[in-house]
């Protein structure tokens, strides 16, 4: 029974301490975490950004990533999309009794790898164990703190008429990776999740221009939902061209099979930037230099024509409204 | 793997749009049988590529939508029984029944699980040998073969706790029923793509032979649909309706023999209850005697109150092509994907969901070419 999580691992007693010492500290050690005090204490000067997110993805291991990597990247990206440089993260786990210790170890190692890549430290954490059946394997919450440089002013409400819309790469990879795992779909070119920390990409493009008005990572709800959020928050219209939106062939094929529109499929390593027109080329060029922005493309612009609405020029020529995702994305039956 | 782009080529689309505009002289009314077609037509803006003379109506081809309220009530009643696990396609969860929904039954403690295929349901049955695992078998000739396969597999593996509530329906009989009703005059039918992969084109011959209505089977990519439309317009203008396949890469006239044999092995044809249409003879599939121990209609004691339809909901009219979603007074006001009143707003193949999601596009007819069409 030594190889699974027991209720006692979350009791605060000896097994809890063992778990911290043997599983968490070896991977995540840093001077603040090592103290194991009730709070992490640090100094910070300037404007801070603070965010939190919970991760309940099923399956917890998927092509191209796992829940641990996702929990770090998701929160790092939320900070980055405010223009903040992520500094510190908390890591809180709710584990179902009976969960495999070796799988937990694997997940903690990917937390470590993702945090190392993003150059952030996990400085506080917690583990709770719940009875079998009260949680599905493992839930993770991370919160994060970042610092915003002077001159950076990014918000979903900042889009201006004439601004250009830039997308950092192909859409739908994460959603299709998860779905193909769930549905047991096999593709000749397997689709991997794009899960990645985008803070360095953001710091690169902020070096190219401080006139980046909006940034957001189109996660659940996909590109369509993010664009609609911008249009509503800024009270502007957005026009995009379907032809310009990069989608991998394998993702297209999977979408055709499942009856999905890629603009609604989730991403975990992409961003949408709304940029002052004069700086769009500079920002696009800078994005393309970064490995996470290689396939970046200018996909549309902000207009005053239809405030609050997103219009897509389809490949065939006509235009149509792109609404937010409503309900859940479910594969077609027929 | 560039196969999809070929079917979304805008130059070819322009040529086809020209062809349709050039051939169309009189107003015609077409029905797209499949909800998948309704969605594709709206998503790609195809309505804007065809002239006003070509009217398109959504039809009954949405598995969730045509499931009768009483069948949904039956599924909900089964879900409330002890030691029962209900497995279903996700869209069914949110469809309101007469008094509740599967989603609500689940929140109240019933064990209802969303699966992506029948084989997942079978897996749940394997994992829970002490419970009855019931799959809500909805759909047309597309889902019927996989449901049949799961029953055959359950038989082979001796999985005794697996059951199917068969609400399966057949497309040619309901087309005949709609044509017999004659409520809406149709000149042509955009024939279902995936259904026809299974049954072929031969079962539709009566449409042109007996009713003088054109029928062209279409795929789901924009060029498939435009090709289908151009064939329909040409047939109707020439006064020579027939059954044609505009989806040759998927459909053969005689269909898929293996899938048909599998259906024949497990099911027998019976009457079926269609939302908005009622009982249509010979339009459904029930589990046959050989496999009746897998039939969820047998062996469970449930009592059902009379079914009632949501007040003001016009899903039935919409499924018969009598009304468009925009003619329903609830559409977009009381009824939305977040708070659906009827199934056509819930399902990803429902006509109301398509109209809601893709909305009224900026201009009704914007041909991709300059100057006069003719």
In sequence order, what DSSP letters do the residues of B329-347 get, joined into one string?
Answer: TTBTTTB-SSS-SSHHHHS
Interhelix angle A67-80/A101-118, nearest 10 degrees = 30
| pLDDT classification of B304: cutoffs 50, 70, 90 | very high
| pLDDT classification of B363: cutoffs 50, 70, 90 | very low
What is the dotted CATH code of the domain comprising A164-321? Answer: 3.90.650.10
Q: Where are the alpha helices (DSSP H) in chain A?
A: 14-19, 25-28, 31-34, 67-80, 101-118, 173-183, 199-208, 222-234, 249-258, 280-289
E strand or H helix at B145: helix B144-157
| pLDDT classification of B368: cutoffs 50, 70, 90 | very low
| pLDDT classification of B373: cutoffs 50, 70, 90 | very low
List chain B residues with CB under 8 Å of A182: 116
When pLDDT is averaged across residues B170-174 and rounded to a whole number, the result is 98
Q: Do B63 and A334 touch (CB under 8 A)?
A: yes
Tell me how far apart the alpha carbons of residues B57 and B33 are, in angstroms, rounded to a whole number. 9
Mean pLDDT taken over chain A: 93
Nearest-by-CA chain B residue for A181: B116
Which of A261, A319, A332 is the closest to B36 by Cβ?
A: A332
Tell me how far apart the alpha carbons of residues B238 and A96 are, in angstroms, rounded to a whole number. 68
Which of A253, A323, A334 is the closest to B359 by Cβ?
A: A323
Q: How far is A11 from chain B (nearest CA, A)?
A: 29
Mutant choice from A320, A321, A322, A326 vs B, greatest count of B C-beta within 10 A: A320
Q: How far is B8 from chain A (nearest CA, A)?
A: 7
List chain B residues with CB under 8 Å of A316: 8, 10, 13-14, 44-46, 49, 222, 368
Nearest-by-CA chain B residue for A322: B358
Mean pLDDT taken over chain B: 92
Q: How far is B349 from chain A (nearest CA, A)?
A: 7
Which of A250, A323, A332 is the closest to B348 by Cβ?
A: A332
* A49: β partners: A146
CA atoms within 13 A on the CB side of A324: 15
Nearest-by-CA chain A residue for B141: A334
What are the backbone angles phi and psi of residue A180, rounded to the nearest 5°? Answer: -70, -35
Between the CA of residue A220 and those of A269, B69, B103, what are the distances in Å? 12, 32, 21
Q: Do B36 and A311 touch (CB under 8 A)?
A: no
Among B12-16, B65-69, B242-246, the least confident range: B12-16
Q: Is residue B370 predicted with pLDDT exceeding 90?
A: no
Q: Is residue B367 predicted with pLDDT exceeding 50?
A: no
List chain A residues with CB under 8 Å of B45: 314, 316-320
Mutant choice from B11, B40, B357 vs A, greatest count of A C-beta within 10 A: B357
Q: Do B44 and A316 touch (CB under 8 A)?
A: yes
When pLDDT is averaged across residues B55-84 and rounded to a whole number, the result is 96
E strand or H helix at B42: helix B35-43
CA atoms within 13 A on the CB side of B363: 11
Select the CATH number that applies to the domain covering A7-148 from these four: 3.30.450.90, 3.40.50.11900, 3.30.1330.10, 3.30.300.30: 3.30.1330.10
> Do residues A16 and A10 make contact, with C-beta atoms less than 8 angstroms apart?
yes
Residues of chain B with CATH 3.40.50.11740: 1-314
Nearest-by-CA chain A residue for B357: A323
CA atoms within 13 A on the CB side of B212: 5
The domain limits of chain A are: 7-148, 164-321
Tell me how far apart the alpha carbons of residues A238 and B15 are, in angstroms, rounded to a whole number. 29
Between the CA of residue B311 and those of B99, B314, B329, B330, what are the distances in Å? 13, 9, 11, 9
Question: What is the structure's pLDDT at B371?
Answer: 37
| DSSP letter string, B127-140 | H-TTSEEEEEE--S
Question: What is the structure's pLDDT at B6?
Answer: 73
Q: Do A334 and B62 touch (CB under 8 A)?
A: yes
Q: How far is B91 from chain A (nearest CA, A)?
A: 7
| DSSP letter string, B77-124 | HHHTSTTEEEEE-GGGGG---SS--HHHHHHTT-EEEE-SSHHHHHHH
CA A173 to chain centroid: 12
Task: Quote the percentage of chain B above a pLDDT of 70.
Answer: 95
The domain over range B1-314 is classified in CATH as 2.40.50.140? no
* ipTM score for this prediction: 0.78
List chain A residues with CB under 8 Å of B368: 316-318
Q: Is residue B83 predicted with pLDDT exceeding 60?
A: yes
Q: How many CB pairs under 8 A join A and B?
A: 124
The residue ranges of chain A whose pLDDT is under 70 are 1-2, 183-189, 327
Residues of chain A contacting B, Cβ within 8 Å: 182-183, 188-189, 243, 249-250, 252-253, 256, 259, 261, 306, 311, 314-321, 323, 326-328, 330-334
Q: Do B43 and A250 touch (CB under 8 A)?
A: no
When pLDDT is averaged across residues B159-172 and rounded to a whole number, the result is 98
C-alpha closest to that of B98 among B297, B305, B352: B305
pTM check: above 0.90: no
List chain A residues with CB under 8 Å of B10: 243, 315-317
């Amino acid at each position: 029974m030594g190889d699974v999580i027991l209720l006692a691992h979350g009791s605060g007693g000896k097994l809890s301490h063992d778990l911290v010492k043997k599983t968490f500290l070896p991977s995540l050690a840093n001077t603040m975490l090592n103290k194991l005090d009730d709070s992490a204490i640090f100094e910070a000067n300037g404007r801070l950004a603070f965010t939190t997110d919970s991760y309940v993805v099923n399956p917890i291991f998927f092509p191209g990533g796992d829940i641990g990597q996702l929990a770090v990247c998701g929160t790092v990206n939320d900070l980055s999309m405010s223009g903040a440089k992520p500094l510190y993260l908390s890591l809180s786990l709710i584990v179902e009794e009976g969960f495999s210790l070796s799988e937990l170890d694997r997940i903690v190692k990917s937390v470590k790898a993702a945090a190392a890549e993003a150059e952030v430290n996990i400085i506080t954490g917690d583990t709770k164990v719940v009875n079998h059946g009260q949680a599905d394997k493992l839930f993770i919450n991370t919160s994060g703190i970042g610092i915003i440089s002077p001159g950076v002013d990014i918000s979903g409400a900042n889009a201006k008429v004439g601004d250009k819309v830039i997308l950092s790469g192909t859409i739908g990879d994460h959603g299709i990776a998860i779905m193909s795992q769930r549905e047991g779909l096999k593709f000749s070119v397997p689709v991997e999740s794009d899960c990645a920390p985008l803070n360095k990409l953001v710091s690169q493009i902020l070096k190219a221009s401080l006139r980046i008005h909006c940034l957001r990572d189109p996660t659940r709800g996909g590109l369509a939902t993010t664009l609609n959020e911008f249009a509503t928050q800024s009270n502007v219209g957005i026009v995009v061209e379907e032809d310009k939106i990069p989608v991998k062939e394998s993702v297209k094929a999977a979408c055709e099979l499942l009856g999905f529109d890629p603009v609604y499929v989730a991403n975990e390593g992409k961003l949408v930037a709304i940029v002052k027109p004069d700086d769009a080329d500079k920002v696009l060029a800078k994005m393309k230099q970064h490995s996470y922005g290689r396939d970046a493309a200018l996909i549309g612009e902000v207009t005053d024509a239809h405030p609050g609405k997103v219009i897509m020029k389809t490949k065939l020529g006509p235009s149509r409204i792109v609404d937010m995702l409503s309900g859940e994305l479910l594969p077609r039956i027929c | 793997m560039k196969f999809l782009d070929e079917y979304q080529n805008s130059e070819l689309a322009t040529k086809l749009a020209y062809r349709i505009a050039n051939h169309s002289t009189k107003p015609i009314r077409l029905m797209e049988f499949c909800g998948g077609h309704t969605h594709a037509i709206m998503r790609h803006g195809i309505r804007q590529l065809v002239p006003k003379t070509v009217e398109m109506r959504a039809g009954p081809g949405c598995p969730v939508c045509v499931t009768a309220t009483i069948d949904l009530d039956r599924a909900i009643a089964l879900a409330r029984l002890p030691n029962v696990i209900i497995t279903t396609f996700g869209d069914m969860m949110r469809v309101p029944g007469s008094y509740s929904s599967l989603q609500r039954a689940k929140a109240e403690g019933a064990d209802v699980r969303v699966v992506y295929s029948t084989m997942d349901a079978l897996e749940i049955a394997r994992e829970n040998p002490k419970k009855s695992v019931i799959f809500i078998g909805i759909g047309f000739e597309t889902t019927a073969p996989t449901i049949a396969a799961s029953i055959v597999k359950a038989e082979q593996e001796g999985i005794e706790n697996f059951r199917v509530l068969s609400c399966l329906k057949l497309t040619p009989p309901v087309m005949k029923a709609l044509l017999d009703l004659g409520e809406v005059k149709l000149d042509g039918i955009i024939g279902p793509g995936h259904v026809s992969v299974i049954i072929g084109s031969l079962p539709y011959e009566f449409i042109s032979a007996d009713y003088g209505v054109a029928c062209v089977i279409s795929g789901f990519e924009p060029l498939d649909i435009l090709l289908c439309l151009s064939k329909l317009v040409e047939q109707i203008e020439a006064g020579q309706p027939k059954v044609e396949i505009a989806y040759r890469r998927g459909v053969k006239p005689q269909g898929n023999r293996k899938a048909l044999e599998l259906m024949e092995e497990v099911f027998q044809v019976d009457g079926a209850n269609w939302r908005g249409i009622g009982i249509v003879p010979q339009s459904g599939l029930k589990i046959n005697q050989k496999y009746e121990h897998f039939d969820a209609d047998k062996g469970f004691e449930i009592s059902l109150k009379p079914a009632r339809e949501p007040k003001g909901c016009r899903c039935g009219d919409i499924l018969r092509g009598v009304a468009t979603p925009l003619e329903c007074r609830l559409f977009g006001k009381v009824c939305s994907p977040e708070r659906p009143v009827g199934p056509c707003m819930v399902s990803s193949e429902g006509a109301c969901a398509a109209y809601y999601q893709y909305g009224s596009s900026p201009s009704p007819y914007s041909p991709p070419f300059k100057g006069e069409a003719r």
